Structure 1
């Protein structure tokens, strides 16, 4: 796509982004809510978004699926007052709706499996009814203009203008940083175009490229984004990424799946893992090669699934390179 078509598409999405923004009054109400049993708080919302990040990584969904799911979730929470006990159903419904739009049909996780892995207590019918409610309230058809939409367009524009420096702009890194920001409800108040440009500007300033920085200024002028607004969100993005890169921050992809089982199931699991009494091996019948093969079979048949995890941020493909290097240190 040539530069003229990219800039035209950029302008079109910029004019439409206002229709896909969560209501700021609703977001402010969530931020002001304390942790209780009657309303969704910011902490509760952020924790659920981190769960969505973990699930998208677990199922191998794209960044586009995660970003769209968060957009649907924030728009619905900012519009409707729901109880915390219903938040799991709402968030998983948003994820399923987003996946059906962005993922190939063959890669979609079955609904019952999605509920089981998400460890939720509602049924497939409950999820279907919730999806219909969300789609009706948000007038959701098949797409939404998000920060990821602009991030991809900005990256393509940078490539078309400055091909010799494209290796300095990692789209995977920018996507990972965007997902980190979306785990905080405060960034849901930012215009997608401004949030994406703030992320791009941070990355370009880190590599000290004057050519690429001029491209961001050209985009800013083209979209008529105020310098004060861009500076405000750039500072917030920088602080968020600094906090995210700290060792104290527990990343969503760094957590393991924790299964809640009944006492009877736990006892059965322990009995399966106990060492059975083996018959004495007669002397003179020792076959060294057979013994080695049997040992390998025993090792390969271990209960690996009981300790499976979602993977770590240091190795997942959704995370930036500098965080992986920091992990190794």
Structure 2
């Protein structure tokens, strides 16, 4: 029965990943009371009391792999270069619509963005690339991510939906897949922000619906944040930590700093290291709040079809709470998959 319930919760996570969060804006008094105890239920005991040796070893391994990744690719080029930033934005906007169309998981989305960023920062993507090149790269990265993570992968022609400017033959995408795989050195299971989020969630044990809700909110927010090209400048551990901090800040109205500090201690990350990324999240949240106010968006509006609407949906229920001091806040080719489904990291 427990497994059945967890499967239902997992299905709920994926179904709701791109759904409008407007229902949170119309909570009853009872729901508000439940919200005020959200973090108390999430962290019934200090995370520090649940530390195990193997968990620390796993965390150290994640940090080590993260540093290796950072040293092997100049992802900052994507954030700092206006040309690459615009190309990334175009690709991400299209991928988000296809991801929503097929209901791909958060991990598939994060992997697709990761492949895209690593390829754009490599030598194979040239500034004088033809207009259709970024579309081909986007289709390829999303196809590879789906083959890595999804159990049901659309044919390559079927993957090219949602206002696709150019439609490529399957053999063209297959050749591009080989180029991307070669550029990425076949490292298709990188450490991502979800790696650190999953680490914390497994420490909590996913024992109650509250844990699933925390995971769902973090995944939803994280997907929105990494859609912004500036997020490429931050390490996966920093992105994950800042995301969890923001979710805690939104649901815990009494003493969020204690819980935030617990997470910082467990993840062995200083507040100063996270401040810049946290500031980016606050900025995106404020911008979305302002945009919603200007457009006088109605509650329970259907899911917007535009990518900006997809990105902004997560912030529709967020407040611009500044309780945490922030420094520097400016901040498919064949029916058979190429890879087997896996959520584990490369050893």
What is the TM-score of this pair, normalised by structure 1? 0.66
Aligned-pair CA distance for 1:51: 1.3
Residue 154 of structure 1 contacts residue 197 of structure 1 at CA under 8 Å; is this kept in 2?
Answer: no
Relative distance call for 1:325 and 1:213 in structure 2 (3 A) is closer
After the TM superposition, which of the residue ranges 133-142 and 88-97 deviates more from structure 2?
133-142
| Aligned-partner SS, 1:66 | helix
Q: 1:177 aligns with which of 212, 221, 229?
A: 221
Match of 1:26 in 2: 77
Q: 1:129 aligns with which of 147, 152, 175?
A: 175
Match of 2:156 in 1: 111
Residue 75 of structure 1 contacts residue 138 of structure 1 at CA under 8 Å; is this kept in 2?
Answer: yes
| Aligned-partner SS, 1:144 | coil
Aligned-pair CA distance for 1:137: 1.0
Relative distance call for 1:219 and 1:324 in structure 2 (3 A) is closer
Tell me, yes or no, if structure 1 residue 323 matches structure 2 residue 316: yes
Match of 2:269 in 1: 225
Larger radius of gyration: 1
1:76-120 per-residue CA deviation (whole Å, 9 max, x = no partner) reads 10113332430011111000001101011xx11011211355452
Relative distance call for 1:166 and 1:11 in structure 2 (3 A) is farther
RCO (CA 8 Å, sep 6+): is it higher in 1 or 2? 2
Gaps of 5+ in 2: 1-49, 298-302, 320-347
Q: 2:109 aligns with which of 60, 66, 69?
A: 66
Relative distance call for 1:155 and 1:225 in structure 2 (3 A) is same
CA distance in 2, matches of 1:11, 1:42: 32
Aligned-pair CA distance for 1:216: 4.1
Match of 1:234 in 2: 278
Relative distance call for 1:324 and 1:175 in structure 2 (3 A) is same
Aligned-pair CA distance for 1:227: 2.6
Aligned-pair CA distance for 1:208: 2.8
| Aligned-partner SS, 2:168 | coil
Aligned-pair CA distance for 1:3: 4.4
Match of 1:91 in 2: 138
CA distance in 2, matches of 1:313, 1:56: 10
Following superposition of structure 1 onto structure 2, how do residues 1-329 of structure 1 map, counting pairs within 5 Å?
A: 3-4=51-52, 5-21=54-70, 22-28=73-79, 31-33=80-82, 40-80=83-123, 81-82=125-126, 83=129, 84-104=131-151, 107-115=152-160, 118-157=164-203, 159-160=204-205, 166=210, 170-208=214-252, 213-214=257-258, 216-245=260-289, 246-247=291-292, 254-255=304-305, 320=314, 323=316
Relative distance call for 1:172 and 1:223 in structure 2 (3 A) is closer
More helix by share: 1
Gaps of 5+ in 1: 34-39, 257-309
Residue 26 of structure 1 contacts residue 79 of structure 1 at CA under 8 Å; is this kept in 2?
Answer: no
What is the TM-score of this pair, normalised by structure 2? 0.63
Aligned-pair CA distance for 1:25: 4.7
Runs of 4+ in 1 over 6 A off after TM superposition: 162-165, 209-212
Match of 1:285 in 2: none
After the TM superposition, which of the residue ranges 127-136 and 201-210 deviates more from structure 2?
201-210
| Aligned-partner SS, 2:316 | helix
> CA-atom RMSD, angstroms?
3.4
| Aligned-partner SS, 1:128 | helix
Relative distance call for 1:313 and 1:79 in structure 2 (3 A) is closer
CA distance in 1, matches of 2:208, 2:101: 35
